[in-house]
Structure 1
Amino acid sequence: MPSEPAGVVEEIGTGQVGLVYKLTLAVTDFIMNNMVIRNLTIYIPALVAIPIVYRKVGARKYNLAEYFAAMIYMTSSILLFDIIISPVSFISESCYSGLEIGYSILICSISMYKAFPVGNLKKRMGYFTLYLIVSIALYLLIILGFLTLSFSSVS
């Protein structure tokens, strides 16, 4: 008999927990512990930052679905790279993290250049730096929102 996902309660008091409740917990547990789904939700603010930064150099020629498809491709590329370099984590965790971050930035910068070719290297680096700043700002905004919610629920 398969075991219940972590966090599923068998009984509350003397009554049985409903099937809908168990299914909801199982689906939530799957979503929260699935690496692909986690990565896709993590990259959504970076996806939103693309049309904001690159609007002057042709971001309107692609729609949000095409950006999402490119994000899925980059995410799968990063996940495959993580699998390939996973033996490095046994040697040095910091080296593994550095390679992972370096590869992510490399893949992102190459795809940005291919999608929005800016001729001048200085302008290209400026756009990419602005993209990274806007992405970080969106992440900080989301974190600040969650912190505000968590502090307001405590009071």
Structure 2
Amino acid sequence: MSLKVAFLNENARAPTRGSVHAAGYDLYAAEEKTIPANGRGLVDLGLSMSIPEGTYARIAPRSGLAVKNGLSTGAGVIDYDYRGPVKVMLFNHSTEDFNVTIGDRVAQMILERIVTPEVQVVQTNDLESTERGAGGFGSTGINDEKKRKLDEAEAKE
């Protein structure tokens, strides 16, 4: 299995892994760009690639940029059959502009296997029941005492 990369301009760099055990490949900016405070910007990587069949690439933030500069990534899926220019959407959650320079590591790419089962539409009562049921949005992150009190409050309503 290989990841084929084609450079689209002279500033492009091949993705690299920071260590032998790193899950992600660092992605490098091929252009200078200012990501405005509390804004967003699309950063060109200057490359296209051929993702291995049976996988997709997920674009994820680099932890250092997130912690130190308030940057995150968005719209981060590269499908197996996409062959166009790869760009990274950066969101700046800080109150200061962030300047990207050529060669900066702006995101990481993680290759993941995909599963695409056939979609089968069924009635609600045909779904297998689970212990969790319909509990969502924090339902598994509260302790039993808080859960009991919430359940009691809902029962009174």
TM superposition score category, shorter chain reference: under 0.3
In the superposition, the TM-score normalised over structure 2's length comes to: 0.22
More strand by percentage: 2
In the superposition, the TM-score normalised over structure 1's length comes to: 0.22
More helix by percentage: 1
> Does 1 or 2 have the higher relative contact order (CA < 8 Å, sep 6+)?
2
